Amino acid sequence: MTEDGTTGGRPPRLTASPAQPASARTTPAGASAPGGSAHGASLRATLTAQDVRRLTLFKWRYSLESAGFTPRQAAHLLFLKWLHARRRSVG
């Protein structure tokens, strides 16, 4: 188990593609691209494990604040979650 309470090990690498306007999705004349996208893999960005962890913590904080907790309370609850996960992984 990692320090933030999620399952241990390296998560699989995730990929994300930026949104493209309809004009950017067309293939130039004479070019052939599998799947109909000329840009394909060149625009794909890979999320690292640290990126996934940061996004997860941001989501948890946002969820707590939208549920009515103050930013200080949300930070304290996230610290308590980290502390609890750390205790479980040590002992």
Give the model confidence (pLDDT) of 63-83 as tens digits: 999 999 999 999 999 999 999
Q: Which residues have CB under 8 Å from 69's CB, separation 6+?
A: 77
Q: How confident is the model at residue 26 (pLDDT cuts 50, 70, 90)?
A: low
Question: Which pLDDT does position 36 carry in this prediction?
Answer: 53
Give long-range contacts, CB 8 A cutoff, 24+ apart: 49-53.
49/10, 49/11, 52/11, 52/14, 53/2, 53/4, 53/6
Question: Which pLDDT does position 1 carry in this prediction?
Answer: 44
Strand ranges for the chain from DSSP E: 14-16, 45-47
| Structure token pair of residue 6 | 């999620």
Question: Which pLDDT does position 41 carry in this prediction?
Answer: 58
Calpha distance 38→72 (Å, rounded) = 47
State yes or no: pLDDT of 58 exceeds 90: yes
